[in-house]
Every structure is written in C-alpha cells, then in structure tokens.
Amino acid sequence: MATGQTLRELEAKNEEQYDKILKETHLTDHPSAFDNALKQFDRAAKLLKLAPNQVAVIKEPRRVTEVKLPVRMDDGSIEVFTGYRVQHNVALGPAKGGVRFHPDVDVEEVKALAFWMTYKCAVVGIPMGGGKGGVVVDPRKLSQGELERLARRYFAEMIDLFGPDKDIPAPDVNTNPQIMAWFMDTYSMHHQEFLPAVVTGKPIELGGSAGRAAATAQGMVYCVHRTVEHLGMDLSKLTVAVQGFGNAGSYAAKLLHQDGCTIQAISDIDGAFFSEQGIDPEMAIAHVKENGTLKDFEKVAKVEKMRDPMKLLELPVDLLIPAALENQVTEANAPRVQAKIIAECANGPLTPEADDILEKKKTFIIPDILCNAGGVTVSYLEWVQNRMGYYWSEERIQEDLKRIMDNAFQNVLETSLHNKVPMRTAAFIFSIQRVCHASELRGLYA
C-alpha cells in the first residue's frame, strides 16, 4: 500500500504534524489488512455461533512462506528481493490466488489477500481454496529482463508449493499475462512437461481462456446489474467514479460505459481526472497503452485533473468503484462518501469502520469477495480447459460467468435480507458455512 511508505516517511516528522497529515491524507493509525479481514470474519462467525474449534481451523492461514530472491540486475549487480506465498485454506480444493508485485507488499497484506481468496472461491462455489503471493518491488524501476529474472526466481523458489492440484497463481496488481507465461514456463521446464494448469491468466496462445482479461470487471458488472434491479434504479442513468485504471478498473469503466453509464472520474497512481459530461474510457485506455499511465490525460481529453486524487472517492456519483488497493475508504473519509452503491473491484478497499459508517448511510456495498470474484471464476474455467486440453468459445465462458455470478449474488442478497445484515457479512456467512462444512467432512489428518 502506498499508505505504508508514506507513513514511514512521515514518522520522521513531529507528532502533531504527523497527526494532522494523517487526518488530511485519510490514513488511520493503523490496523493491518489482515486485522481488518479478521474483523470481517468475526462479525459473521459470531452470527453463525461457530464453535472455537471450527474457528481455529478456518480462520488463520495454513502456510506462510517467505523467500529471498537474488536477481542479477542489468548493470551486473545483484539485488535481493523478498517474496511471499500464503496458502490460507485448502478444504475445498487447491489454493488459488494472484501474485502482486508492489513496493508496499508485506506479509500481513498477503495473508489478508489469501484469506479473502478462501471465502471468495466459496461464495461463487468454485472447488478451490485461498492463496496469494507477493514480491516487494516497484516493477516500474525494473527493465523487462530484470522483471523476467525476478518472476522466474520467485516461481523457482516456490516450485514445490505450486502445482495444478496444489496451488495455482494468477495475475494481481502489477503482474500480467506475460509474467504468468514466465511462471508457467519455469514450472514446465523444471518438470520437463507442458503444464499450463499451474497458473491462470496466461496469454491465450499458451492456454489462457477467452474472457479472462475482462473477467474481474465483467463479474462486477453483473453484480451491478442485479443491484440496480434490486434497488429499482436505471442502469443507463448511473454516474460512476473508478479509482485505479489497471486490469480491473479500465475494463470496469469500459463495460459500464457500454451499458450507457456516465464515467465521471477515473484515476491511477499518477492522478485523478474528472468530467461531469463523462469520460470516454476507450480514449483513456489508448492513452495508457501509449504512455503506460494516465499521466497528462488532461492534455489530450476534455477532463479536469483533480488536485487531490483521494477526493475521487467523495464525488457525488451513483456508483463508486475502488479498483486499486486496500484501505482507501476509512473512518476518516467515509462520512464524506456520497455514492449510493460501492462495487469493490479491489480487495479490501473499505475498512470495517468505514463499513459501519456507510451502513448507517444505507450505502449498498457489493463486497469484494463477491464483487470481484469474476476473475477467479474465469481462472477456474481456464484451469478446467487446460486440464481437458479443449477450449471453449468466449460466448460459452460469458454464459458460465454470468450464471455463476448471478447465482452468487442472489445467494448473498437472500442471506443479507434473511439475516438483516449488510451484504459483506452475508457473503461471509454464506461462504464460511461452505468452508466449515468441507473442513468438517474432511476431518483432521493424523
């Protein structure tokens, strides 16, 4: 998270100034993402009246691995990076979850992301458990060759953990199909076999699935369709703000624009851009393709650059889509959030304190473990196709994705209405029951 680094820099300054800046920059001091994830779990576990034995088995990660990754840089020097893989729970199947490359990755963040994967797979009914990986690195500072050597070394160091029936990585922040291709090649060369099912989110030419690139956003869009029906709103009249313009955010803007929504704001790490009349996402995507970032977008499009990018979260739009990192809406800025619906494309963008504030304001939150589950759903379909060696059409994938997402949304909505709890707690109630039941059926080994 950008927050961690900023905080470390700020710590040097005096106490009073530090507190003031914390407030102004909306940072709170300072539960980890994993603390927040456990709070979410506890809320549902309490309502389910889980026994301590059940909680003990399904709450904490099963395995946490840290590795050091020496990589030869282009200038001949060696730099040592730190990498993690966390397998949270594998009661329902092999661990599944992305690998993040980011300077603020730490073990608590990876534990949280792996935890959310366990319950995300269970919400959509995928026969897989939760995993996640990360490398502490700013990939923007690496050449393509350095990036490849780092990716391969990460996979090589973890090679015994990974496998089509053990643990299957995928892309996350700052990782992409090319990096998945290097992962797959490293594993296949090691085993001297073509083993595409060890990783998903691959390029189509190497066993990737039709529809995977847009899947996370497409799944979110299906959830938004169901939400709008439930709330009696008009989809084509929605105004939208999207934070983050990578895989999840750019497709989110594009697909909702195709639905007739007005995309009033977008942002990435280099800035936020606003237009009341609406931004053309295709133009923004072309700009990012050419420049690698939204930087200077105001010079080519009729948009205003926002002075404070965090204010994007507080715009008076109907639909807010956080699609960047964790802990973006906290108790500090939640009172100023005006959106009627929040669709969490990112993992963990709202803290539990923000949830409480927004619940009082009757904001409809589509929680991450449901909202962004389209990504892992099509990853699962990719894995199935790899194992069959037979590939489905885009139409077939879309049909399955829509059916799975609609079904999951309906299950969570019904749980929410029946128990009179917010959608997040409902999603955990529903998924914890699945994981718990599978754990009990398996029993304890030895």
First-to-last alpha carbon distance for the chain, in angstroms, is 40
Question: Does 248 engage in binding with ligand NAD (CB under 6 A)?
Answer: yes
Comparing CA positions, the residue from 193, 182, 196, 171 lying closest to residue 390 is 196
Tell me: does residue 264 bind ligand NAD (CB under 6 A): no
Identify which of 325, 200, 197, 183 has the alpha carbon closest to the alpha carbon of residue 267: 325
Q: Which residue in the set 107, 110, 261, 346 belongs to the binding site for ligand NAD (CB under 6 A)?
A: 346
Minimum separation from the CB atom of position 418 to ligand NAD (A): 27
Residue with the shortest CB distance to ligand NAD: 246
Instruction: Please state whether 125 falls in left (phi above 0), alpha (psi between -120 and 50) or beta.
Output: left
Q: Are strands 319-322 and 271-274 parallel, antiparallel or unpaired?
A: unpaired
Binding of residue 325 to ligand NAD (CB under 6 A): yes
As a whole number of angstroms, the distance between CA 259 and CA 237 comes to 9
Which residues lie across from 132 on neighbouring strands?
A: 86
Q: Does 345 participate in binding ligand NAD (rule CB under 6 A)?
A: yes
Catalytic residue chosen out of the listed positions 111, 132, 202, 340: 132
Catalytic residue list contains 132: yes
- Using CB under 6 A, which of 83, 134, 171, 367 touches ligand NAD? 171
Which range touches ligand NAD (CB under 6 A), out of 39-47, 192-200, 224-232, 342-350?
Answer: 342-350
What angle in degrees, to the nearest 10, is found between the helix axes of 107-124 and 374-388?
70
Closest approach, Cβ 361 to ligand NAD, in A, equals 23
Does 209 help bind ligand NAD (rule: CB under 6 A)?
Answer: no
Minimum CB distance to ligand NAD, residue 244 (Å): 3
Residue 67: strand, helix, or coil: strand
Query: Cβ neighbours of residue 440 under 8 Å, at least 6 residues apart?
Result: 54
In angstroms, give the least distance from the CB of 172 to ligand NAD: 5
Q: Should residue 268 be labelled a site residue for ligand NAD when binding is judged by CB under 6 A?
A: yes
**x-or-dash string of contact with ligand NAD, 228-247, rule CB under 6 A:** ---------------xxxxx
What is the smallest separation between the CB atom of 175 and ligand NAD, expressed in angstroms?
A: 7
**ω before 102 within 30° of 0 (cis)?**
no
Distance from C-alpha of 136 to C-alpha of 174, rounded to nearest angstrom = 11
**Cβ within 8 Å of residue 189, ≥6 positions away:** none
Report the interface residues with ligand NAD, using CB under 6 A.
2, 171-174, 216, 243-249, 267-269, 309, 323-325, 345-347, 372, 375
- Residues with a known catalytic role: 132
